[in-house]
Amino acid sequence: MARVIQWATGGLGQAAIGAVLDHPDLELVGAWVHSPAKVGVDLGELIGREPVGVRASGDVEALLALDADCVLYSPLMADTRVVRAILASGKNVVTPLGWFYPRRAERERYDEICRAAGVTLHGTGIHPGGITERLPLVISALSGSVTSVRAEEFSDIRTYAAPEVVRDWMLFGATPEQAAGSPMVKMLEGGYSQSVWMVADELGFDLDPDLRVTHDVAVATAPIDSPIGPIAPGHVAAQRYRWQGTVDGEPVVTAAVNWFMGEEHLDPAWAFGPLGQRYEIEITGDPGSMTTFTGMHGHGLAAAADRNPGLVATAMHCVNAIPYVVAAPPGVRTYLDLPPVAGRAAAPLHRARRSRTGTAPVADDTKGLT
């Protein structure tokens, strides 16, 4: 049973707390919170459940001193000093904020920290993460002579329950000139560029030295209602980002996002298309394939704002990785270094395996069905 500390309790962190509580192989032992109003709050009550007897804390040193196996680190932005301190305290770290596939110098630096403390650092998530790295590589195994890989997100950003991020960081509602200087380009590049390099390196593409990065915007042509207030005509209401690895200038690996405030009153007239909100993975090869993932976007803005499926999926990918990370050798461990990560059956169904020839449950230590 791995003992887990949740670091930050925003939308993703709260989803992670519930996932840890429901996971049969994990035990929640603490949580760091930024807001003084949350300090001392029972973590079960914090997420709308019955009390669990574990309370939130803002005391970093006390949390680092806890007997815990892993920290799920998910504040809005990573503080590398804190990450290093967590690792040095002897705790593994799983995070959606980077370290998916760090370049050599950074990986060697964190490998040294991890090995000195006997712990593992693993970056994961959904996009960047599973949709941009693990799944393209898995699906590519169905093809030969691969010439391009594309992983792309299409999301209605009105469902993202963080208005301050949408307004102040993503710069929706700003002018196109202001959005051109958005800090999001640099923030996102750290994750998506690693996705591109991981896929390219594993498939054997000989990429040009620098990735191609593009950021395009669409503006409102009429007032658009949004969680950050009305977006005025001429202001940013949709954005597209592309990170592309190229060979001789031609794109071969692409990670992309499309974030819209709905589909109406946009110039250019961008739209999700008939498939709606989704994630896509396209492999061009012999044969090629197109895989579409749905169900990780909310059906209705109010429901999505209350429990955004994309944030939940990100949290689940982190939580489900924890037992594998705890068992891994010390160092930075990417998807390429870990066995396939799986979810767990719902509590009423867990370990209720039955034989093929009868109704008696199979013993917990049975390795297969008889």
287 pLDDT higher than 70: yes
Give the model's confidence band at 348: pLDDT under 50 very low, under 70 low, under 90 confident, else very high: confident
Residues 287 and 146 in one domain: yes
Which DSSP string do the residues of 98-150 spell out, in sequence order? S-SS--HHHHHHHHHHHHHHT-EEEE--BTTBIIIIIHHHHHHTT-EEEEEEE
Residue 7 lies in a domain: yes
Q: Over the stretch 83-107, which tens digit does the pLDDT of each residue have?
A: 999 999 999 999 999 999 999 999 9
Cα three-residue angle 64-70-75, rounded to 5 degrees? 75
Do 17 and 92 lie in one domain? The reply is yes
Q: Is residue 152 located within the same domain as residue 268? A: yes
DSSP state of 232: P
| pLDDT band at residue 307 using 50, 70 and 90 as cut-offs | confident
Asked, for residue 303, whether it belongs to a domain, the answer is no
Instruction: Tell me the sheet residues that pair with 212.
Output: 244
Q: Is residue 270 part of a domain?
A: yes
Model's pTM, two decimal places? 0.89
Domain for residue 230, yes or no?
yes
Are residues 205 and 139 both part of a single domain? yes
Assess if residue 342 is contained within a domain. no
User: Judging by beta carbons within 10 Å of its beta carbon (0-12, 13-18, 19+), is residue 168 exposed, middle or buried?
Assistant: middle
The structure tokens listed for 204 are: 């054997």
Domain match, 198 and 215 both: yes
Please give the structure tokens belonging to residue 285: 């090869």
Distance CA 152, CA 102 (A): 21
Count CB neighbours of 34 within 10 A.
16
279 lies in the same domain as 324:
no
pLDDT digits (tens, 9 = 90+) for 163-189: 888 998 899 999 999 998 887 778 888
- Other Cβ atoms closer than 10 A to 234: 12
On whether both 55 and 145 belong to a single domain, the answer is no
Pair of tokens at residue 225: 């209602």
Assess whether 119 and 135 both reside in one domain: no
d(CA 300, CA 278): 14
- For the chain, count helices (H), then strands (E): 11, 14
Would you state the structure tokens that stand for residue 217, as one six-digit string?
């915007």
- Specify if 355 maps to a domain: no
Pairing between β-strand 26-32 and β-strand 2-7 as defined by DSSP bridges: parallel
**Number of domain units in the chain:** 2
Q: How far apart are alpha carbons 174 and 215 in whole angstroms?
A: 15
Look at residue 21 and tell me if it is in a domain.
Answer: yes
User: Rounded CA gap, 137 and 342, in Å?
Assistant: 16
Residue ranges making up the domain that contains 247? 130-295
CB-based contact 360:127 (threshold 8 Å): no
**Contact yes or no for 19/315 (Cβ under 8 A):** yes
The pLDDT-based confidence of 359 (bands split at 50, 70, 90) is very low
Verify that 143 and 201 share a domain, yes or no: yes
**Same domain membership, residue 203 and residue 264:** yes
The verdict on 113 and 232 lying in the same domain is no
Asked whether residue 366 is assigned to any structural domain, the reply reads: no
Pair 261, 141 in one domain: yes
Supply the CATH number for residue 62's domain.
3.40.50.720
Please determine, for residue 161, whether its predicted confidence score (pLDDT) is greater than 90: no
Q: Give the mean model confidence (pLDDT) for residues 316-327.
A: 98
Number of residues assigned to the chain? 370
pLDDT tens string 101-143: 999 999 999 999 999 999 999 999 999 999 999 999 999 999 9
In angstroms, the CA 60 to CA 15 distance is 21
* pLDDT score of 357: 40
